[in-house]
A and B are shown apart, each in its own frame.
Chain A
Amino acid sequence: MTTRQKAGETRETAVRQDSDIAIVATAQLPAVRRQELTETEMLLMVVDEALGKVDLERSDIGFSCQGSCDYISGGTFSFVPNLDAMGAWPPIHESHVEMDGAWAMYEAWVRLRHGDIDIAVAMGSGKSSTGDPAAIYPLELDPYYLAPLGLDPVSLAALQARQLIESGKSTERELAEIAARSRRDAAGNPNQQVRAAEQDVDKLLAEGYLRNPLRKSDLPPISDGACAVVLVRGPRAAELTERPAWITGIDHRSEVHNPALRDLTDSASTRLAAARAGGVAGVEVAELMAPFTAQEVILRQSLGLADGVLINPSGGALTGNPLMATGLVRIADAAEAILADGRSRTLGHATSGPALQQNLVCVLEGDNR
């Protein structure tokens, strides 16, 4: 929404206002095929870890927000036990969204802007191992025209990928290169799930189609996981951590729901959200939530990211996809690029809905000292 610098200006240390909000700590559980801990226990662990990094207690938190989904968890009101991860006694100010944790973070960011509280925590959690995403995900489609056809997410991603390839915007080789790069990157990231898979592009291309034109390497794994981030308003952020990841802009946009009514080779909502979040100029690292290889191409092109931008150095959603946390993980990884790796400007992105229907973009900056 706000950016204090015009694109392309050299960034000096900005004077941070009371109204500025930063991510000061993040934590995520390694994405795994099947997590035996309950969702509440997973959240307990990531909240403990994130708060521990900046020596905060739950009693320091003014607001918290959780993101999860009943249909992924396999129960009604599945977020109710998850409340206990916050130790909601005495009663706390919190909220829940039936969306990815990235949107929970958005709500926390909005809440912090009021200026009456300093610290908020946002979380996302999901165990997609419990059900078959292919059977569950049609339920998020138009209930009259689409859901009864059982259009599963992989088939839909393949329809999208074919249009991308046949329009000349990408190639199967490019998709395989993305898969190979993601796997190479994941090998060095203990939080990712697909860490020892084939990384040779020619060998990947030699594999058969799972859903023409997509191969297994173009698809994400089924993952369980959770993520938490700590947001702090104003100068307090710099007291808590060496180099806060300041949120210079965050915005999300939706599009027409039915994928057959959209240009599937473009993501206008991502482009709009990024523009509203201050633009991509100067971004060094972009963590894009692209659970399918073709979606990385679409997002990169829609955002107009320059060739030098590092895309998904974490390994991305393609190598670890804990539904309802994946988007927040992307933002957390983009924040860690500043908090831990000394980057100056990064971007985190989350998506929800069929074929990139709804997209959130968060632009982060570190102060240069």
Chain B
Amino acid sequence: MTHERVAVVGIGQTKHKKRRDDLSIAGLVREAARRALDDARMTWSDIDAVVIGKAPDIFEGVMKPELYLSDALGGAGKPVFRVHTAGSVGGSTAVVASHLISSRVHRRVLAVAWEKQSEGNAQFGLGGGKSGSIGAGGAFAPWIRAYIRKSGAPEHIGWQVAVKDRQNALRNEYAHLQLKDISIDKVRESPMMWDPLHFLESCPSSDGAGAIVLTDEAGGDAAAADGRAPAWVLGTSMRSEPSSFNGRDPIRPQAGVDCAWDVYRQAGITDPRRQIDVAELYVPFSWYEPMWLEGHDIAPVGEGWKMVDRGETAFDGDFPVNPSGGVLSSNPIGASGMLRFLEAALQVRGTAGEHQVDGARVALAQAYGAAAQYFAMWAVGTDKP
């Protein structure tokens, strides 16, 4: 059985902010979804099924919010599905939605991922509602320390990534943080939040949503014929591994390696460093850029930080990472993975505007979650596979 080709024909996202006090939860997801529909020249009634992703329900205190959001997303009379795979959920949502088409169950699917963190408190939520939450930064800081120690990376690498992504965000009107005067000195001098992570090496807490409209091959062809280039899905994968056991390598988790090679295999990529033009990687703390470059075999082990140091991941480098500004600039947790996936699609469609990378034809997107144990990735391309 060959499966159906999948195209991304509509992309939308909200303006991400610390607090979208102008919108309800429904208004937030609808802002992204409507933009994706408009982009696809579709209306609610054109959609066959809706897939919703978000991180823990405790963040907003709405249990199974896909129920309340069904009609907000035109879901009455349609299948409405809810994915939750921790921080990778925004990516998993896109993958699950693509499977509904590649398996020929549906032809046009709307996938939306969101978080309205200002309604609650992420530290509280991540700590299971208890005092003394170490937060995500506290959980990842030890592994970052281990990476630095093993790779011998100089400390300025983290500051450099933090500056690069914030400068990229200035090219992205939707990004939450717009830090015009960001500098290495500012990052270095910002408060130490989770040693060795400074405040400015950490992601913000945002309200936001991202949405994509996916179609089958005919839908992608129709969009192309109409002069609206689709992004073709070249490969998707999800991989998970246990949180903790003796022998696990949490610095370069095997699930991340396997997930990447599964995507590369489907996309016909044998040399990711050369064949991928741009990557949107889930980097909530600056050091995760070199860690994922190595963790997905884009750079050899121990060499990820050198790619950063040589400027190769900068906007004008030869392997740009997070031209959108990434998770370091906008972090509505449940949506953060979806933003990576849709930003990759924007790039290969040539519709990324100010942050368009010249000549981007193959893009990689990645999201990870929990104890760096859940991975969702896809590769998208300008050319039909």
A-to-B contact residues, CB < 8 Å: 1, 18-19, 69-71, 75-77, 79-81, 83-84, 88-99, 103, 106-107, 110-111, 113-115, 136-137, 139-144, 147, 251-257, 268-269, 272, 352-354, 357-358
Contact = CB atoms under 8 A, between A and B. Distances in A.
Given A83-B242, A91-B258, A140 B63 contact: yes
Interface of B: 1-3, 24-25, 56-58, 60-64, 66-71, 75-86, 92, 96, 99-100, 102-105, 125-126, 128-129, 237-243, 245, 248, 253-255, 258-259, 370-371, 373
A111 B83 CA distance: 14
B33 to A, nearest CB: 15
Nearest to A258: B71
The CB with the most chain A CB atoms within 10 A, among B25, B103, B129, B248, is that of: B103
B238 A144 contact: no
B83 A95 contact: yes
Contacts of B2: 115
Given A76-B129, A254-B75, A254-B76, A89 B241 contact: yes
Contact of B76 (A93, A113, A256): A256
B70 A255 contact: yes
Contacts, number: 171
A70 B70 contact: no
Given A76-B126, A93-B239, A140 B3 contact: no
A300 B83 CA distance: 30
A255 B63 contact: no
Contacts of B373: 80, 83
Contact of A354 (B24, B67, B79, B129): B67
Contacts of B100: 110
A84 B69 CA distance: 31
Nearest to B71: A256
9 contacts: A76-B126, A84-B242, A89-B241, A91-B259, A99-B81, A139-B61, A252-B81, A255-B76, A358-B67
A75 B255 CA distance: 25
A1 B64 CA distance: 26
A98 to B, nearest CB: 4
Nearest to A72: B63
A269 B84 contact: no
Contacts of A257: 67-71
Given A144-B24, A357-B70, A94 B63 contact: no
A102 B344 CA distance: 32
A22 B129 CA distance: 42
Contacts of B83: 95-98
B81 A97 contact: yes
Contacts of A268: 77
Contact of B242 (A18, A89, A106): A89
A93 B240 CA distance: 6
Contact of B80 (A92, A95, A139, A254): A254
Contacts of B64: 69, 71, 98-99, 140, 352-353
Nearest to A137: B63
B354 to A, nearest CB: 35
Contacts of B370: 77, 80
B262 to A, nearest CB: 8
A98 B84 CA distance: 6
A251 B79 contact: yes
Q: Which 7 A-B pairs have the closest CB atoms?
A: A115-B1, A91-B255, A113-B103, A139-B63, A254-B80, A353-B67, A98-B84
Given A18-B1, A96-B85, A143-B25, 18 more contacts: A80-B373, A91-B241, A92-B240, A96-B83, A98-B57, A98-B64, A99-B82, A107-B81, A110-B100, A110-B103, A137-B63, A139-B57, A139-B62, A254-B78, A256-B70, A256-B71, A272-B77, A358-B80
